[in-house]
């Protein structure tokens, strides 16, 4: 893409993360490179986001990409490499 302005993703996406997690940093760098602006849910600063993550995804590990598909299904993707591949495949 030649346009550097961030654009919203067509699916509802949220990244559960922590500022100091190196794997989270890698995902945020990929988002920036792709011009993606996703909702960021910091599990360290906002304990309610950590509770959501554990309740929905089953683990408190970050990074985790919550993907709310248009058909109503919710997917929880935990591995940074998988998250980056997903973002590049769908928005690259």
Which CATH topology does 12-91 take? Glutaredoxin (3.40.30)
> Edge-to-edge strands of the sheet including 64-68?
39-42, 12-17, 64-68, 74-77
**pLDDT-based confidence at 10, cuts 50/70/90?**
low
CA distance 29 to 16: 15
Q: Where are the domains of the chain?
A: 12-91
Q: What is the DSSP string of 7-58?
A: B--SSEEEEEE-TT-HHHHHHHHHHHHHTB--EEEETTT-HHHHHHHHHHHS
Over residues 24-61, the pLDDT tens digits come to: 999 999 999 999 999 999 999 999 999 999 999 999 99
What is the pLDDT at residue 9?
A: 52
Higher pLDDT, 3 or 52: 52
Tokens of 14: 């949220």
**pLDDT-based confidence at 1, cuts 50/70/90?**
very low
**pLDDT-based confidence at 69, cuts 50/70/90?**
confident
What is the pLDDT at residue 32?
A: 97
CA distance 19 to 68: 23
Over residues 80-89, the pLDDT tens digits come to: 999 999 999 9
């Amino acid at each position: 893409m030649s346009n550097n302005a961030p654009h919203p993703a067509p699916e509802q996406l949220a990244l559960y993360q922590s500022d100091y997690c190196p794997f989270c940093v890698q995902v945020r760098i990929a988002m920036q490179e792709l011009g993606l602006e996703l909702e960021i849910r910091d599990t360290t600063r906002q304990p309610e986001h950590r509770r959501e993550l554990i309740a929905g995804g089953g683990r408190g590990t970050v990074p985790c990409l919550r993907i709310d598909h248009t058909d109503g299904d919710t997917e929880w993707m935990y591995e940074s490499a998988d998250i980056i591949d997903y973002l590049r495949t769908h928005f690259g």
